[in-house]
Structures are given as C-alpha cells and as structure tokens.
Amino acid sequence: MAPPMSAGTFLDVLRDEGVTVVEVGDWREHNRNHKGPWGPVHGVMIHHTVTHGAERTVRICYDGRPDLPGPLCHGVVTKDGTVHLVGYGRANHAGPGDDDVLRAVIAEKALPPDNEANTDGNRHFYGFECENLGDGEDPWPEAQLEAIEKVAAAVCRQHGWSERSVIGHLEWQPGKVDPRGFSMAWLRERVRDRLK
C-alpha cells in the first residue's frame, strides 16, 4: 500500500527507466478525482485500446469516449514505444474488479481467478493503455513491448513492488480480454528480470 507518487515523480521515474515520454495537454491535472478517491495505490494495470493509429489512440485516451469520459489511463504506449502521458490521478481504466485479486496483488501472491466485480480499481491502479486492435492478429512491435516492460518496472521500482504488482485488465474484471497477444506471465517475467 502506498500513496500515489506525484505527477512530477511519475514523469521522472519513467524517464529514468529509459522511456521516451511525451506530455499531452494538461495531463498533470487531467483526472477523475472529482468522482472518487485516488489511492492508496497497489499496482500497475496493462490494457489494449482496440484502436489503430497513434494520434487517434492518444486523443481517445485523453478525451474519452461518448460512454466513458477521459482520461482512460495515465500513459498510452503507442506502437513505436513512445509513452504519451494523458492524465494523472483517478482515471477511467480499471473499473470494478475482484477484491480477492486486489488482496493477492497487495500480498504479491499468485492471482486467483477474477470472478467478481465488487471493488473500485480506478482508485488503486496506475493504468497504461497500449495501442493494439486486440484481435489476436495485430502485432506487438518489440519497441512497444519494451516500453510496456519499462513503464511497469519503473512504477514497481519507485514503490518497492515486485513484478507481481503488474496485472492485466483481464486478470481484474470478469469478461475483459485485454491485453491480448502476449501473456501477463510472460510480461511479469520480463519485469522481474528488469528489476534485478
């Protein structure tokens, strides 16, 4: 359990990890804090966007969609491996999920199946949306996968968390399938190696 780091620290730790970062609009103050709490934070959540094209993807994640106001995450990882910061604070990315999963993340234990949506995830997770159609065919370029590994490791390093604090949306909320195209076990292994 930890209070969220400041926006400035968030930017610093991403850059220190070697990530190429672009600051979008008023990202430091762009959030949903007026709708609910932000923190304590317990982990990092990875998503795919079901979009194509960096510019459009970043815009949607900043502004939101007709049914879901932005920001839709904190950072958008586009195909070229650039990380676009679109919000900081509470963001509409995790939605309700499983309290048993949250307990496992806090304890950094193996995750149980997510079969309940009884807990506010937007409060407790940093969120990264990754540009991909999520159809199982759209490729994940190595530059993008490396950036995903780096952002997850950077946040874990700052909070003193292990790779077990990195989860996929599909491990949090029943019915979600993202990210699709690599496994979270595989990503966690990469994050673990980077944290050594």
Which residues have C-beta within 8 Å of that of residue 99, sequence separation ≥ 6? Answer: 116, 118, 119
For residue 8, the minimal CB distance to Zn ion (Å) is: 26
For residue 196, the minimal CB distance to Zn ion (Å) is: 28
For residue 73, the minimal CB distance to Zn ion (Å) is: 8
155-184 footprint of Zn ion as x/- string (CB under 5 A):
--------------x--------x------
Q: Which is nearer to Zn ion, 31 or 49 (CB)?
A: 49
Residues 52-91 that bind Zn ion (CB under 5 A): none
Q: Which is nearer to Zn ion, 163 or 171 (CB)?
A: 171
For residue 125, the minimal CB distance to Zn ion (Å) is: 11
**By the 8 A CB rule, do 188 and 46 touch?**
no
Q: Which is nearer to Zn ion, 17 or 178 (CB)?
A: 178
For residue 99, the minimal CB distance to Zn ion (Å) is: 18
Q: How far apart are CA 101 and CA 86, in angstroms?
A: 26
The sheet carrying 125-130 orders its strands as 21-23, 83-85, 75-77, 125-130, 43-48, 166-168
**By the 8 A CB rule, do 41 and 4 touch?**
yes
Residue 131 in the binding site for Zn ion (CB under 5 A): no
Q: Is 161 helix (H, G, I), strand (E, B) or coil?
A: coil
Q: How far apart are CA 45 and CA 186, in angstroms?
A: 15
Q: Which is nearer to Zn ion, 160 or 175 (CB)?
A: 175
Q: Is 172 helix (H, G, I), strand (E, B) or coil?
A: coil
Which two tokens mark 147?
Answer: 């950036």
Residue 47 in the binding site for Zn ion (CB under 5 A): yes
Q: Which is nearer to Zn ion, 7 or 94 (CB)?
A: 94
Torsion, Cα of 45, 48, 51, 56 (10° steps): 30
Binding site for Zn ion (CB under 5 A): 47, 169, 178
